[in-house]
Amino acid sequence: MIVTASRQALDLGYDVILDGIFNLRDYAGPFELLHGEHRGTTRFYQFDVGLDETLRRHAARPLGNVVGEDKIREWHDGWQPLPWYEEHRIGAESTTDDVVATILQDLGP
């Protein structure tokens, strides 16, 4: 569903940002297809902040009260680089402003 909705939005000319815990075993193939089928600019960014920082950040989000620490621990696989694309690695030291600035710079004027 994520890939289908993203593909439709891209085909309509929208920018798409996918945010979540996407593990390599489930999402590398679908994301590779999405990337290959999209004619425009595609960028991939992946957080590499470690489990402790992931848990801390998650606890501060509204979903932190809905999705518990046990589920995040189950989902978290750590750094998993894509085998077919060199994505931008975002470390724990990067602030939200840093990430936004990087993405906007990569997209250009």
Residue 74, token pair as written in the block: 């189950």
What's the number of domains the chain is made of?
A: 1
- Residue 109 above 80 pLDDT? no
Asked whether the beta carbons of 44 and 85 are under 8 A apart, the reply is yes
At 19, phi and psi to the nearest 5?
-130, 130
- Of 86, 21, 29, nearest to 51 (Cα)? 21
pLDDT in tens, 6-65: 999 999 989 898 888 788 888 999 999 999 998 888 899 999 999 999 999 999 988 888
pLDDT in tens, 64-88: 889 989 999 998 888 889 999 999 9
Range of the domain at 83: 2-107
